Structure 1
Amino acid sequence: MRHATSSSKASIAIAVVVLSLGGAAFAQSRPDTENGRYALSTTADGVLRLDTRTGTVSTCNNDSGAGWACYAIPDERAAMDAEIGRLQAENEKLRAELAQRDPTTTGKTDEALPKSDSLKKGEPKVAEGGRKIEIPLPSDQDMDRMMSFLEKAWRRLVEMANRVQRDVSGKI
């Protein structure tokens, strides 16, 4: 194997040319990975590129033979940071407006609240014109009507149960 044949020399030469041309074409078609700035990961559509310096993520693909194109993926973190900044600015603005409205108002009162006995029954509520609201109890007549109604309903229920019992015992 020390002496290579001419066909193997030609194969090696062709492989070197192909590798060098292919390597140059590949180096031109892929993003810069010099000094480890970009981390690349292949996907079904192309390449996912992470910029290790800025944290930006991009999708890169070879569109219709026109060359490689990379498009930044929207960063949710950047959007969230922008929203936090907006809310902080709005909060400061509202605090300043509140401070300008009435600087003498505080959350505390200087006077003590009146003490009351929670078990003591309060006075009846008073309606318009100083009248007391009272709920009248049912009269004896109303109670008699209610008792009569319940008595009739109970008798009908007992009669119905007796009829059902007679019907069932007669069929058996």
Structure 2
Amino acid sequence: MPDAENGRFALSPIAGGVIRLDTRTGAVSTCTDTGTGWACYAMPDERAALDTEIGRLQADNEKLKAELAARDPTVTGKSDERLPKSDALKKAEPKVADGERRIEIPLPSDPDMDRAMSFLEQAWRRLVEMANRMQKDVSGRI
């Protein structure tokens, strides 16, 4: 077993070995008996990876803030007028013919109708094929 070096390491048993915690650095290792002696392998430290990524993102954020501050603060084409409120989920109103109170509903085009008919034909053929297979399976079992 590894030497505890005057309490530097805390050991906890696991299946097939021990987990070793270095109380000075916080590094965690798994130690196993390989038959020729004990071997300890460092476990990946997710916290260190997260801290590294957070540091990188903070540096990028500061760099982008500096670039933004260095830009000209005046934006051309900007107006102080408020935009009208509109409901993005509101459906478009059907067209009303000029001078009449009639609603025009656009009909599907010929290619749209051809696609729909093709889909229905394929679905019908598959349904008939499935019924034929089921009939053969049932008659084969009796």
**Normalising to structure 1: TM-score of the pair?**
0.44
Task: Give the unaligned 5+ runs of structure 2.
Answer: 83-96, 103-142
Specify the SS of the correspondent of 1:96. helix
Residue aligning to 1:137: 101
Specify the SS of the correspondent of 2:44. coil
Deviation at 1:68, TM superposition (A): 1.0
Q: What do you get for the CA RMSD once the two structures are aligned?
A: 2.6
Output one character per residue of 1:72-98: Cα deviation in whole Å (capped at 9) or x when no partner: 110111011001001001101111111
1:83 is the counterpart of 2:45: no
Of Structure 1 and Structure 2, the greater helix share is in 1
Amino acid in the other structure paired with 1:90: D
Partner Cα distance (2:8, 2:98) in 1: 85
Number of residue pairs aligned between Structure 1 and Structure 2: 87
Of Structure 1 and Structure 2, the greater strand share is in 2
Task: Give the unaligned 5+ runs of structure 1.
Answer: 1-29, 115-132, 139-172
Residue aligning to 1:34: 5
Output one character per residue of 1:112-139: Cα deviation in whole Å (capped at 9) or x when no partner: x48xxxxxxxxxxxxxxxxxx846224x
**Normalising to structure 2: TM-score of the pair?**
0.53
Runs of 4+ in 1 over 2 A off after TM superposition: none
Partner Cα distance (1:39, 1:58) in 2: 11
Map 1:17-166 → 2, pairs under 5 A:
30-63=1-34, 65-104=35-74, 113=81, 134=98, 136-138=100-102
Alignment CA distance shift 1:35-1:104 (3 Å): farther
Alignment CA distance shift 1:134-1:39 (3 Å): same
Amino acid in the other structure paired with 1:86: R
Deviation at 1:104, TM superposition (A): 4.3
Residue aligning to 1:155: none
Larger Rg: 1
- Percent of residue pairs identical: 66
Amino acid in the other structure paired with 1:61: T
Larger relative contact order (CA 8 Å, sep ≥ 6): 2
